[in-house]
A and B are shown apart, each in its own frame.
Chain A
Amino acid sequence: MSSEPHSESAVKADADLDRELVRRAQAGDTRAFDDLVVKFSPRLYGMVYHMTSNKEDTHDLLQDIFAKAYRSLKRFRGKSSFYTWIYSIATNMTLNFLKKRKRRVAWSLDDVDSGIQNDEAMVDIGHAANPRHQSDVNELQKKLNEAMQTLSEDHRAVVTMFDIQGMPHAEISKILKISEGTVRSRLFYAHKQLQGHLEEFIH
């Protein structure tokens, strides 16, 4: 509890820094916008990647997201935080992309990435979480991605934001423009569905 005021002030300082960068970028300082790209690209990459499960799509989409944010920056009035604003752009663009991709005949689960074998952090955590499947991290990752792809886009979005990115319900409800109750209900049904696909990893 003692660290709470510190973390609150850190969050405030962070928001102030974002506001200053946005103000400079709106005034035409491209370096300020570059700083925003550097700051937010890892978080947005995570969101887009977990929604698409494909690295090339994620890369292209992320470029488009920042380009759109740059073009729309003048219209950003600071009613929400920059993070919520750009996250909303990213979510909407990703959901639209997924709808288009669904219509593409060639798309299949074979296009889902499964190249995590070199990710040491994932391997270590995988071992700790599932000692019985120590040699099967790749299989876990493949199953996880496939299970994620079976969810509807709306359910996948809340799972990505809440379970993977650790965002609070209130923030998710602001970004998706839905009530917190809807966020909780979507999470519940998504978990139910995932349970069926990941049974072998649950003890």
Chain B
Amino acid sequence: MSNYEEQIQKIVSLKRYETPRDGYFEDFLLEFQQRQRSELLHKSSTTLFFERVATWFRELGSIKWVAGAGAAYAAIMLAVLIWPAGPGTVPDSNRAPASFEGGQGSPAMPVDEQIEDQTEFRF
């Protein structure tokens, strides 16, 4: 290391004596603790719930994979059971919407049949 570098290093190293006032670090810790507490209070209940679930899940150890697989299976079965019927299935007449039950101008019935109906009602 050259002489100038040593001197620069010596001068710059003086900065290590720049320290905060006495008691600063005690106050710093108190402020940190207060800040942590206030952060915890302001966290939404949903965030806390997910945090707790995540912690609980982490602490389960190897059982968590079995529990995870079980939960995934339950979710899939639930989805299959409540999934609405597809277009290929036979519609249940009891579940048909009210607007499809006929009547004037109903698109569910051809126009000529509607006229026949009206004629019938006149007699």
Question: CB distance B8 to A198 under 8 Å?
Answer: yes
B106 close to A (CB within 8 Å): no
Task: Please indicate the chain B residues that have their CB under 8 angstroms from the CB of A70 in the complex.
Answer: 36
Q: Chain A: residues with CB nearer than 8 A to chain B?
A: 30, 34, 37-38, 41-42, 45-46, 49-50, 55, 59, 62-63, 66-67, 70, 74, 116, 119, 121-122, 125-126, 129-130, 140-141, 144, 148, 159, 163-166, 188, 191, 194-195, 198, 201-203
Question: CB distance A41 to B25 under 8 Å?
Answer: yes
* Contact for B5 among A63, A148, A191, CB less than 8 A: A191
| Complex A-B: 23 CB contacts under 8 Å | A42-B19, A42-B25, A46-B16, A49-B18, A62-B28, A63-B28, A67-B36, A116-B17, A116-B18, A121-B19, A125-B14, A129-B11, A144-B12, A148-B12, A148-B15, A164-B15, A165-B16, A166-B16, A194-B12, A198-B11, A202-B4, A202-B7, A202-B11
Name, among A30, A37, A129, A191, the residue most crowded by chain B CB atoms within 10 Å (CB to CB).
A191
Q: A42-B25, A119-B19 are in contact. Are A191 and B4 (CB under 8 A)?
A: yes
Question: CB distance A67 to B39 under 8 Å?
Answer: yes
Chain B 11-38 against A: per-residue CB contact (8 Å), 1 yes, 0 no?
A: 1111111111000010011011101100
Q: A38-B29, A122-B18 are in contact. Are A195 and B13 (CB under 8 A)?
A: no
B9 close to A (CB within 8 Å): yes
Question: CB distance B14 to A55 under 8 Å?
Answer: no
Number of residues of chain B lying within 8 A (CB) of chain A: 26
Kindly list 4 other residue pairs between chains A and B, CB separation below 8 angstroms, not including A45-B20, A166-B13.
Answer: A37-B32, A38-B29, A116-B18, A202-B8
